[in-house]
Amino acid sequence: MDQHFPPAADRPEHQGGDLVRRHALATRLWHWTNALALLVMLMSGLMILNAHPRLYWGHYGSEHDHAWLVLAALEDTAFPGWMTIPSNYSLADARLWHFAFAWVLVLAFTGYLLWGLLRGHIRRRLHITRAEWNPRHILHDFVAHVRLQFPTGTAALDYNVLQKLAYGGVLFVLLPTMILTGLAMSPALDAAWPWMVDLFGGRQSARSIHFIAASGLVLFFAVHMVMVVLAGPVNEVRSILTGWYRLPREKGGAA
Amino acid sequence: MILTRRKALQVGAAGAGGLLLSGCDALNDSAPFKDGLAGVGRLHELTQRAIIGDSLAREFTEIDMSPVFKANGSLRVADPAYRALLAGGFGQWALRVDGLVHRPLALPLTALRAMPQRTQITRHDCVEGWSAIGKWQGPQLGAIIAQAGLMPGARYVVFHCADQLEGKPFYESIDLVEAFHPQTILAWRMNDAPLTEPHGAPIRLRVERQLGYKQAKYIMRIELRESLAGLYGGRGGFWEDNRGYQWWAGI
């Protein structure tokens, strides 16, 4: 018995091949709401970045100052139309989309976080035990992942430490960072809550961190897609749509 | 088999992407959808105003200032009357204050300089994303409006400017809450020197809790109005009328 993936006491006996409930309704609703909101935020955000595709550290920064990242010359377009909302240049329209879907993102995120924390769901699924924090354990899981050795049977129902780190990182690091750095770019909110922009070291730093955290979410999405495909896309997509997941069979079983 | 499946996936992905994009563009071109988005934008104004109250924008010190303060929007005014005023050092210029006021005013630069002054080093945030920190000096807008005397019904302050963009006169507007905010000034001095033409000589608005496109330059006339309807495009400013930027520029 792998002590890192103890089966829950009340979990009925299941074996590979059984259909089991995997994702709570709240998780599924939030997953798809968040996916839609993040896609719109990313594409409209790239259009906003097209207006000034240079990033700075500190409180100020313009074309006269040193940029740590220049995505394109000011007269060029950094992100082509197929990546942006709308596809033709419009900073004003991109801002309308970005700020409207920011409400969707923030309300859905807050709702899911409160539900997950109050119901103990996040603690049950994402809490990383001391044993799991052990670098050797993390390395072991990492090597298993790279070798595409995924857990089978009921062990597949629990997230491994890499999954916990990825999902926990999105939930507790990347999304809160996106939201706070977004708010810190508002001159009105900076007047009301100066601590927020100070937290990031200035408005241009907040803008840079907004971009870095967005890149982190894109990276998460890319790995997420690869893992879904490798783990069995039909089963994974069914489970996040309907909640039902077919437990992977043991190697060499009646597969 | 693998090739055809890969091909099918590629076609599928391209098709889905294309559908998504054309779908977003179709939504973007639909007036009801756009109105919906703008309606949510209005929610930002209400929320932000409830949060910010009468808070002050951060004021910086001289060591925090941008070495070069970027000039944006109109950089030169073509109007011959303006050019004559500029050539004369604005000695013949006077700021008109009219509309819903008891005492319409014509304030020369000397009068504006003689009023109590406010000096503030603040961050200017362009809607495009860049920021610059500069030092501004001038009388508070609230004091000028008080001097003219508000008539009942006055709700908006409109700034009529000397410059034109795309052949249209430039104007901007704020409401009385922002107009009487202590940091809302008519700056005639920037970084310890009289305002230059690219930065809006003889005076420009500083309304520090909003984005750069609200900071009207080359102000010739201030008009107190009950409503923004019926004035040019009716949305309260050149950028609002012609580019679709939101009138509330706190975000």
The domain spanning residue B115 has which CATH number? 3.90.420.10
Top residue of A190, A193, A204, A225 to mutate, by most chain B CBs within 10 Å, is: A190
Q: How high is the pLDDT of residue B1?
A: 44
From chain A, pick out residues whose CB is under 8 angstroms from the CB of B41. Answer: 96, 99-100
Nearest to B123 among A40, A188, A203 (CB): A203
Tokens of A51: 């207006």
Q: What is the mean pLDDT of residues A92-120?
A: 96
CA distance B60 to chain A (A): 10
Q: What is the mean pLDDT of residues A31-52?
A: 97
Cβ(A95)–Cβ(B240) below 8 Å:
no
- On whether both B28 and B146 belong to a single domain, the answer is no
- On whether both B205 and B142 belong to a single domain, the answer is yes
Helix, strand, coil content of chain B in percent (nearest 5):
35, 25, 35
pLDDT at A184 over 80: yes
From chain B, pick out residues whose CB is under 8 angstroms from the CB of A189. Answer: 48, 51-52, 250-251
CB contact burial B113-125 (16+ within 10 A = b; e otherwise)? eeeeebebbbbbb
What confidence tier does A220 reach under pLDDT thresholds 50, 70, 90? very high
Residue A170: how many other CB atoms lie within 10 Å = 19
Answer yes or no: is B249 within a domain. no
Do B125 and A187 make contact, defined as CB atoms within 8 angstroms?
A: yes
Question: Is the CB of A100 inside 8 Å of chain B's CB atoms?
Answer: yes
- On whether both B23 and B66 belong to a single domain, the answer is no
- On whether both B136 and B172 belong to a single domain, the answer is yes
CA distance B101 to chain A (A): 29
Cβ(A58)–Cβ(A205) below 8 Å:
yes
pLDDT at A29 over 90: yes
pLDDT at A5 over 50: no
CA distance A82 to chain B (A): 7
Total number of domains in chain B: 2
- On whether both B74 and B113 belong to a single domain, the answer is yes
- On whether both B120 and B188 belong to a single domain, the answer is yes
Answer yes or no: is B93 within a domain. yes
Top residue of A59, A75, A90, A208 to mutate, by most chain B CBs within 10 Å, is: A59
- On whether both B221 and B115 belong to a single domain, the answer is yes
Q: How high is the pLDDT of residue A16?
A: 83
Do A64 and B133 make contact, defined as CB atoms within 8 angstroms?
A: no
Do B52 and A207 make contact, defined as CB atoms within 8 angstroms?
A: no
Q: What is the mean pLDDT of residues A188-207?
A: 97
Q: How high is the pLDDT of residue B17?
A: 65
Answer yes or no: is B248 within a domain. no
Q: How high is the pLDDT of residue B188?
A: 98
Answer yes or no: is B179 within a domain. yes
Q: What is the dihedral of CA A114, A116, A119, A125, to 10 degrees?
A: -160
The DSSP code for A51 is T
B-contacting residues of A 73-92, CB under 8 Å? 81-82, 85-88, 90-92
Average pLDDT, chain A: 91
d(CA A157, CA A141): 15
- On whether both B21 and B115 belong to a single domain, the answer is no
Answer yes or no: is B104 within a domain. yes
Which regions in chain B score pLDDT beneath 70?
A: 1-19
Answer yes or no: is B68 within a domain. yes
From chain B, pick out residues whose CB is under 8 angstroms from the CB of A197. Answer: 58
Do A87 and B25 make contact, defined as CB atoms within 8 angstroms?
A: yes
* CB under 8 A, 24+ apart: contacts of B6-12: none
From chain A, pick out residues whose CB is under 8 angstroms from the CB of B34. Answer: 93, 96
Answer yes or no: is B69 within a domain. yes
Nearest to A192 among B44, B55, B126 (CB): B55
- On whether both B168 and B237 belong to a single domain, the answer is yes
Cβ(A164)–Cβ(A132) below 8 Å:
yes
Nearest to B37 among A100, A185, A192 (CB): A100
Cβ(B81)–Cβ(B93) below 8 Å:
no
- On whether both B29 and B143 belong to a single domain, the answer is no
Name residue, tokens 């060591």.
Answer: B63
Q: How high is the pLDDT of residue B24?
A: 87
Do A96 and B244 make contact, defined as CB atoms within 8 angstroms?
A: yes
Cα B249 off chain centre by: 8
From chain A, pick out residues whose CB is under 8 angstroms from the CB of B6. Answer: none
Tokens of A43: 């594409």
Q: List pLDDT tens digits, range B162-214.
A: 999 999 999 999 999 999 999 999 999 999 999 999 999 999 999 999 999 99
Question: Out of A61-65, A155-159, B61-65, B159-163, which region has the weakest mean confidence (pLDDT)?
Answer: A155-159
Residue B169: how many other CB atoms lie within 10 Å = 14
List the domain range (segments joined by +) for residue B133.
Answer: 58-243
The DSSP code for B169 is E
Do A60 and B123 make contact, defined as CB atoms within 8 angstroms?
A: yes
* Distance, first Cα to last Cα, chain B: 52
Q: What is the mean pLDDT of residues A233-237?
A: 92
pLDDT at A170 over 60: yes
| Domains detected in chain A | 21-246 (1.20.950.20)
Q: How high is the pLDDT of residue B38?
A: 86
Nearest to A188 among B48, B67, B123 (CB): B48
- On whether both B88 and B190 belong to a single domain, the answer is yes
- On whether both B123 and B199 belong to a single domain, the answer is yes
Q: How high is the pLDDT of residue B186?
A: 98
Answer yes or no: is B76 within a domain. yes
